[in-house]
């Protein structure tokens, strides 16, 4: 069953994506991202930004198959995700939906998931806080809503380069699938492998050439499902799956969001405005030195696609230990601290033009010879 769900979601997403790409001339006035000048714009030609549609198509097909097998939780979770998905899609089509409104719809989706699936965090693995959650059920509701909404927003923040969000999300979905399998949770395993297949079906058109973007609908939907599967793992397996497992699993996008808020507050900049100082953007500027200064589409596209593998590596520093130590709370907490220290250290080094030499990627040589070397800035 799980193989069928994976390939069903994969093929549905892949075929829907290519249909959107091939018919772009018919819906370009709605679906295209034609803004090439913003601080977070790194593509060179107008591109469809409705990649959330193929991801949703793959998930809907898989949810139908899971329903047939008696796993109704998948369909309920997709139903709960509709508000945030539609809010993101409205932004992708109109470019006029403010981030605050999208975040509010993420809260609505989290609330619906609590109603349909009882997806409420029972504990956080923090001394004193867990007792408060037990004594004050309303506090648990609020924390769950803000946690899920925060992951939705964080996933959207890291959606900056070809393959970045998709690659990171697939590693997280695979980790969730592994833990679901280990604890014997068939429903969550079905959702996780289907999500992995749906993202992969979109990913093959997004990386490396960027023929379609996930858009807000895709990023928010993926973030919502990752967050909810994580919450449900903790809820359905108390004392087995540590609450710090999802924290470490998703600490890259979550800490990226927290750090961005800190940066902007320190510079007295508006938190909701886009900027060009996210971790992945600093990697693009400081580490990926492929034909810097060239404006040809080929070189810009190559430099764009070379950024994502760096961030996949960063994400693996949290995903791998989370997958290995998902039961061991103290180890997970220590890994969270180490990841934050690594992130801040590397970010500071890059901003100060002191990035480790072995991380810098250049293209050198004459017109007839291409050579990759690592060298200082």
Alpha helices in 237-328 (DSSP H): 244-249, 251-266, 279-286, 297-305, 307-324
Position 25 scores a pLDDT of 84
Tell which wins on pLDDT, 131 or 62: 62
Question: For residue 270, is pLDDT > 50?
Answer: yes
What pLDDT digit, counting tens, does each position of 54-67 carry? 999 999 999 999 99
Residue from 286, 294, 307 nearest 376 by CA: 286
**Cβ atoms of 112 and 224 closer than 8 Å:** no
Q: In the structure, what pLDDT confidence band is assigned to residue 283 with cuts at 50, 70 and 90?
A: very high
Mean pLDDT value across residues 307-319: 95
Position 367 scores a pLDDT of 47
> What string of H, E and C letters represents the secondary structure of 82-147?
HHHHHHHHHHHHHCCCCHHHHHHHHHHHHHHHHHHHCCCCCCCCCCCHHHHHHHCHHHHHHHHHHH
Mean pLDDT value across residues 180-192: 97
Question: For residue 332, is pLDDT > 80?
Answer: yes
Q: Measured between alpha carbons, how far is 152 from 253 in angstroms, rounded to an integer?
A: 10
Position 291 scores a pLDDT of 57
3-state secondary structure of 361: strand
Question: For residue 373, is pLDDT > 50?
Answer: no
Mean pLDDT value across residues 70-89: 96
Mean of all residue pLDDT scores within the chain: 89
Domain boundaries, the chain: 2-275
Tokens of 78: 């997709």
Distances (CA, A) of 222 to 44, 240, 255: 25, 25, 18
Mean pLDDT value across residues 176-193: 97
Q: In the structure, what pLDDT confidence band is assigned to residue 212 with cuts at 50, 70 and 90?
A: very high
In sequence order, the β-bridge partners of residue 362 are 289, 373
Q: In the structure, what pLDDT confidence band is assigned to residue 375 with cuts at 50, 70 and 90?
A: very low
Position 296 scores a pLDDT of 65
Position 335 scores a pLDDT of 97
Q: In the structure, what pLDDT confidence band is assigned to residue 154 with cuts at 50, 70 and 90?
A: very high
Mean pLDDT value across residues 217-235: 97
**Antiparallel, parallel or unpaired: β 361-364 and 371-373:** antiparallel
Q: Measured between alpha carbons, how far is 172 from 226 in angstroms, rounded to an integer?
A: 7
Mean pLDDT value across residues 305-313: 93
Question: For residue 72, is pLDDT > 80?
Answer: yes
Tell which wins on pLDDT, 276 or 121: 121
**Cβ atoms of 125 and 242 closer than 8 Å:** yes
Q: Measured between alpha carbons, how far is 271 from 276 in angstroms, rounded to an integer?
A: 13
In sequence order, the β-bridge partners of residue 33 are 47
Question: For residue 124, is pLDDT > 60?
Answer: yes
Mean pLDDT value across residues 263-276: 72
Q: In the structure, what pLDDT confidence band is assigned to residue 269 with cuts at 50, 70 and 90?
A: low
Residue from 328, 356, 330 nearest 342 by CA: 356
**Antiparallel, parallel or unpaired: β 288-289 and 47-48:** unpaired
Mean pLDDT value across residues 71-92: 96
Mean pLDDT value across residues 97-109: 94
Position 292 scores a pLDDT of 59
Angle at CA of residue 297, ends 293 and 301, nearest 5°: 85
Tokens of 27: 């819906």
Position 101 scores a pLDDT of 93
Q: Measured between alpha carbons, how far is 218 from 308 in angstroms, rounded to an integer?
A: 17
């Amino acid at each position: 069953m799980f193989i069928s769900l994976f390939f069903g979601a994969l093929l549905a997403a892949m075929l829907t994506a290519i249909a959107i790409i091939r018919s772009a001339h018919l819906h370009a006035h709605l679906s295209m991202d034609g803004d090439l000048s913003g601080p977070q714009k790194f593509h060179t030609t107008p591109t469809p930004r409705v990649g959330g549609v193929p991801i949703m198509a793959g998930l809907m097909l898989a949810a139908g198959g899971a329903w047939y097998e008696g796993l109704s939780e998948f369909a309920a979770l997709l139903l709960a995700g509709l508000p945030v998905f539609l809010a993101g899609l409205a932004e992708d089509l109109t470019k006029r939906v403010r981030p605050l409104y999208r975040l509010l719809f993420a809260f609505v989706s989290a609330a619906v998931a609590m109603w349909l699936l009882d997806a409420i965090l029972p504990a956080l693995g923090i001394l004193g806080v867990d007792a408060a959650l037990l004594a004050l059920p309303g506090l648990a509701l609020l924390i769950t809503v803000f946690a899920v909404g925060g992951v939705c927003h964080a996933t959207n923040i890291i959606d900056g380069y070809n393959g970045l969000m998709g690659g990171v999300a697939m590693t997280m979905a695979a980790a969730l699938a592994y833990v679901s399998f280990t604890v014997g949770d068939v429903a969550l395993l079905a959702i996780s492998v289907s999500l992995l297949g749906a993202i992969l079906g979109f990913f093959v058109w997004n990386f490396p050439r960027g023929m379609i973007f996930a858009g807000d609908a895709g990023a928010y939907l993926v973030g919502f499902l990752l967050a909810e599967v994580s919450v449900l793992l903790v809820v359905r397996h108390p004392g087995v799956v540590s609450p710090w497992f999802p924290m470490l699993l998703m600490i890259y996008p979550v800490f990226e969001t927290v750090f961005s808020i800190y940066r902007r507050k320190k510079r007295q900049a508006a938190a909701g405005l886009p900027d060009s100082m996210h971790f992945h953007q600093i990697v693009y500027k400081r580490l990926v030195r492929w034909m810097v200064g060239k404006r040809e589409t080929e070189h810009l596209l190559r430099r764009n696609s070379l950024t994502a593998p760096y961030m996949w590596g960063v994400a693996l520093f949290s995903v791998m230990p989370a997958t290995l130590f998902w039961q061991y709370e103290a180890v997970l907490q220590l890994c969270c601290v180490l990841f934050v220290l690594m992130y801040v250290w590397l970010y500071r080094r890059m901003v100060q033009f002191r990035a480790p030499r072995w991380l810098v990627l250049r293209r050198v040589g004459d017109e007839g010879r291409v050579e990759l070397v690592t060298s200082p800035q």
